[in-house]
Structures are given as C-alpha cells and as structure tokens.
Amino acid sequence: MKPPRKKISLYDTTLRDGSQGEEIAFTLEDKLLITERLDELGIHYIEAGWPGSNPKDLEYFRRIKKVRLKNSRIAAFGSTCHPKKTPGRDPNLKALLAADTPVVTIFGKSWDFHAKVALHVSLKRNLELIYQSVQFLKKRVDEVVYDAEHFFDGFKTNPTYAKETLSAALEGGADYLVLCDTNGGALPDEVEEIFQELNRDLPATYGIHCHNDCELGVANSLAAVRAGARQVHGTINGIGERCGNANLVSILPNLQLKMGMPIIPAKQMKRLKEVSHYVYEMTNQTPRNNQAYVGRSAFAHKGGIHVSAVARNPKTYEHIEPSQVGNHRRVLVSDLSGASNVLAKAQEFGIKLNKKDPLVKQLVQDLKNLENQGFQFEGAEASFEILMRKAKRQYRPFFRLIGFRVLDEKLTHDAPAHAEATIQVEVDGIKEHTAAAGNGPVNALDNALRKALERFFPSLQDVKLIDYKVRVLPSGSGTSSQVRVLIESTDGKRKWGTVGVSENIIQASWMALVDSLEFKLLKDGLARRR
C-alpha cells in the first residue's frame, strides 16, 4: 500500500518578488487588498515584503495583523545576516522579527561563485551565515523557509558545496528548503533529476521557486513536484523581475485538475479568473487574452467545425470545463464561421433561431460579406447582436440622426487644435439640436451625441468609453484607404465592443459610437422586460 501523498502548499510572492517587475508598484492599500483576495482563493503562504527595506512594508505588517485571514499565513522576507555581524545584532534579522509574522523566509547563497563574488566571504563563512541565521530565527518564529538562491546554477558547477548549504539550513532548523532557479535558466529534466538526487542523499521537505527567463517557470515547478517538492512558489499572472516568475494561475489548476493533487476546494478554484484579473487591475495591466485557463480566449471557439463539435460535446475541443476555473465558453464570429457559430451566438444573445431557418444561411453570408469589407466582430459582439436583431426584426433604433457637423481647427502654428461637433437628432418625434467641444473630432462628436440623448435616456450617463482602436485596412490606397474603428465601452456592470468601417474615420467612429449607445439602451430595455 502506497503511503498517503503529502499535500502541496502554494507560496505566493506576488507582493514581494512580483513587485520587482518592470512598471509594477503596489501601494500599501493595494497590498492589503490583494492579500485578502489571495486568502479567499486559498493560498497557503503569502510573502508580503521585506520589512528591512522600506517603511511601507513595515506598515503593511502592522496593518495586516488586524485582518482576519482564513487560509493564508503571512511570511516576511529577508536575507541571512551580514557577514560582519552576528544574528542577534543584525538589523535585517531584527526587522524580520519585528514584523511579527508566523513565517519568516530568508535566502542564502548556494552557488560558490556568488558566495565569493557577491558576498566576498569564504565558503566556510557562508555556511556559518546560513546555519546561524536559520537557527536564530527558528527559535523565535513558527516556521522558517530557506530559499536556496541560484541553487541549480550552483549545483551544476559544484554539487558538493550546494548540498552543504542545504545541510547547513536543515541543521539550523529550516522547515522548508526551497530550491531557487533565480536566473531562470534551468530545464525541466535538470530540475527533476536534481530533486531526485537530493531526496535520496539529503531527505528534507523541499520547495521550488522558479523564474521564467526560458518560458519554463511552470514546467520546472511541475517537474519539481513530480520529483518530491512539497511547496511551490510563484506569483499571480507570473509577474516579476525580467521575464517574471512561475505563474501560480497556471500551476494551481495543473496540479489540481491535471495531476490530481488536492490543493484548494473546488469552489475556491472557481475564483481563479477573478483573482487573476483583480491583480491585473491592481497592476494597471491589460489581461492577456491567450493566458492559459483564465484568459478571455482560453475557451473561445472560432472555426465552424470546432463550434459544431463543441455544441455536441465540449470535450471535443476543451481540456477542462471552463467554469472549474471561473471562466466561460465563448463562440467567436468571423469569416471562418458557419451556421453553428451563428446559432451559438443567437442562443447566447437570447435570440430564438432554428437551424432550418433560412435566416441562418443569410446571416452567415452577411457576416462573410461584412468581414470582406473590413468589419471584424470578434471584439465587437455588441455590433453583431444588433445585426442579428435587425435581421430578426427585433430591433427598433432609439433615435434618428438628422445630421451632424464636425469642426477641427488650428488657428496658429503654436496653438493647440480645437474640435467642436454640432448634432441634430430626433427621438419619438422630438428634435434635439446641440453642440459640444472635445479634445479631438471623435471625442467632440461623442460628447455632442451624449449631450443630445441624455435628456431622453439618462442611463447613458453611465456609459464610459474605455478603449478606442483605429486600423488602416490594407488596400494600397494610401490616405484614402478604409479604416476600422473598434470601441470598447462599459456601464460599470458589463463591457461590450462595437465596430465601424468606412473610408472616413469620422463615419467609422460614428457607426461604432451609435452601436455602443444603442446596445446599452437595448440591454436596459431587455432587462426591464424580464
């Protein structure tokens, strides 16, 4: 009978190692809020910062004591003591204890090259620093995690000494020996073989901490677990210095859903996408559509054959059920679409459409013709829904344009350009004529249109334009080429995309703007009817 497998613990270092990524900076409030989200997800350890390095982290450790965490243990991070000091007199170790966390993580040198060049100490003195620092902390905190920095590089050049550094930490009382691929240059087979050798020669509770410089952070982490690692370090979305850290958002479902290792309850796994996107928001980054498991495109189907097969059985083109990680299936529409795509979108939009209805064939043909003209509906599903409802005669425009004029002028060489739009619309027989300025012609037109309509439809005040993209479509016609305008909008509850195509950028923008506002009014109307 096989002994029961030890549970794997996840160690998140988003707030410390992740913050070293380029253009990433967390405020104190950011760190506290992210901590709560990680705790709700079920992360076992949260490495929150280096209390000896800045006042913000010291304040964090003071504030986090007042937060009641259900699943996570907070870890303070630091290094072994200064070569010229004893642990009891080392400011870094004192700061770690002052943080008053149940877990302290310290790193030490495993590579003889680093001990000599970076620390300027003898190999013997480096071993003393590791042993004394771990021993000093273990007597005063519940758990000590030892990060063996540059371990794989050190092992490959001097395996005997690399093992001695681990022995020093183990003798000092370290609860976890974490092997770090600090430069991110190891390969999965190397990681697995080294772990197997260590488990044979130096039994201990091991962990893995990988960087992603070779795009192997996740693969190396999984290889380590296969070979016996019991703690896995990483960051949400793989943020971190240089090319980032191992991505816990991929590691967690791979371990639990693919390798059969229970990590967190299934109901908490459903929050994975939510947590991933929350960290993207807090780091002011755009979520990657093609990110494994949680990306917007992770379960998106475009080819008609794929969509038809997924409609019969999702397993045909999906490796897991999307809801397991809080994601959902999406069907895309394009010139590659067939009847299956149109029927799937109709069902998603709540439009009754039978596969035998000749309208399906007509919609497929219309879609292909429009895409041939330059329209693109993958990022503009609101425009496609309006198109479908018009075809089904389930759509009545909310207003009628009588006309608009846009003025964009620059009076002197040094003066900024000035834009103004005048517009006249009609709503239920009532005409409204107004004007508005803007920082450009499209912005002026948007402002004028809203100003004219908000009198009739106050909910349009909630609509915000969050993205505006213009692409010149290849034609060889130079400045007279057609352009495609994609607009993404939100009302604070949902997001939607719309599209317009024309040789005139103002006209293309107008088409996308109108669809954006009419989609909002359409959804408000459908919600009221329900």
Hey, what CATH topology would domain 400-529 get? Double Stranded RNA Binding Domain (3.30.160)
> What are the start and end residues of each CATH 3.20.20.70 domain in the chain?
10-264
Q: Count of alpha carbons within 13 Å of 94, Cβ hemisphere only? A: 7
pLDDT attached to residue 1: 30
Predicted pLDDT at 54: 78
CA–CA dist 174, 510 (Å, integer): 65
- Residue 58 has phi, psi (to 5 degrees) of -60, -45
pLDDT given at position 409: 85
Model-level pTM? Answer: 0.74
CB atoms within 10 A of CB 454: 15
Res 498: pLDDT:
93
Phi and psi at residue 529, in whole multiples of 5°? Answer: -70, -30
Instruction: Quote the CA–CA distance of 208 and 365 in Å, as a whole number.
Output: 54
Distance CA 84, CA 99 (A): 23
Sign of CA dihedral 228, 233, 237, 242: negative
Task: List alpha helices for 350-475, DSSP H.
Answer: 358-373, 381-391, 441-453
Which pLDDT value is given to residue 513? Answer: 94
The CATH code of domain 10-264 reads: 3.20.20.70
Q: Give phi and psi for 13, each to the nearest 5.
A: -120, 30
Residue with tokens 């003889």: 112
* Residue from 177, 180, 95 nearest 141 by CA: 95
Helix (H, G, I), strand (E, B) or coil at 315: helix
Q: Is 214 helix (H, G, I), strand (E, B) or coil?
A: coil
- In angstroms, the CA 413 to CA 63 distance is 55
Tell me where in the chain the CATH 3.30.160.270 domain(s) lie.
Answer: 400-529
Query: Which residues of the chain, if any, have pLDDT below 70?
Result: 1-6, 304, 307, 331-338, 475-480, 526-530
Determine phi and psi for 6, rounding to 5 degrees: -70, 145
Q: How many CB atoms lie within 10 A of CB 471?
A: 14
